[in-house]
Amino acid sequence: MPGLEGLDTRALTRKLRVAGVMRGILACSEGSVRLSDADLVDKARSGPKMEGLNLAAKVSCASAYHWEGGFLEGFGRPETHGSTATLKAMPKQFRVVAVDYGIKQNILRCLEEVGADVTVVPAHSTAADVLKHKPDGVFLSNGPGDPAAVTGAPEMIRGVLGKTPLFGICLGHQLLGLALGAKTYKLKFGHRGANHPVLDHSTGKVEITSQNHGFAVDPKTVPVEAEVSHLNLNDQTVEGLRCKNVAAFSVQYHPEASPGPHDSFYLFSRFRDMILTSKK
């Protein structure tokens, strides 16, 4: 595990807050050879920039699989299914295909907790690959890298929209925006941490959220077929989208975060209710 010594981290924070995100490097001495400051700066500058990196393809699963991780007894939260009397997962009521752009296992647990039987598919999946599983809902996961570089994802999402309810988180939110015709951009400095205030326009409530992203959806490019559903109260960036004519929504933050704030667990229930309504 790398560590830092003799560094004024507050000075580093101030520099980043003014200059924005920059590439950096952590290095150990190579044997008896200590790398010079100039060598380290060269190594940092030679590293790839985040713009244009399709990292989702590197971290996604290689093939589809059925989630068998199992709900953890006592791990779940009553907020996800609206009951204060039990923490047990709901019986499986519907099928969800989760597209893995770097998915967190706790997302799969949360989906299972609200009654989903989950199949996970790779990031390169097409709409036909997704729909062949006959899902009652499709989930777009979080993941690293530049959303505009995830080849094939917008086309896949457009092929699914309107055929089954859809829910996206983080990178999945950005990809939904791209599929709808919006554009994404790199933030001067990303949103990191577990205390970001977000306004849910549908309820008027402010949620404290966990966030970890460096890109955002440009609100000026959101088409009339969609609307901004959640707003970051720190910098007014887009934190959620809702489609007006089809059953689809997304959020930029992490409602599944654990440890983390519990304010946003209702989103999994919202997805469940959307699916069950569509099945009637």
Catalytic residue among 113, 207, 239, 256: 256
Spatial neighbors of 230 by CB under 8 A, at least 6 apart, are 198, 199, 200, 201, 238, 239, 240, 251, 252
Catalytic residue among 81, 173, 213, 254: 254
Catalytic residue among 81, 113, 170, 230: 170
DSSP summary character for residue 203: T
Spatial neighbors of 208 by CB under 8 A, at least 6 apart, are 194, 195, 196, 197, 198, 261, 263
Alpha helices by DSSP H, the chain:
9-19, 37-46, 56-59, 105-113, 127-131, 153-160, 171-180, 266-278
Structure tokens at 114: 């609200």
Active site residue 243: no
Active site residue 170: yes
The dihedrals phi and psi of 195, each to the nearest 5 degrees, come to -140, 40
Q: Which of 206, 197, 200 is nearest to 230 (CA)?
A: 200
Active site residue 227: no
Q: How many CA atoms lie within 13 A of 208 on its CB side?
A: 7
Task: For residue 89, give Cα distances in angstroms to 85, 114, 115, 118, 132.
Answer: 12, 6, 7, 13, 26
- How large is the C-alpha radius of gyration of the chain? 20
Residues with a catalytic annotation lie at 170, 254, 256
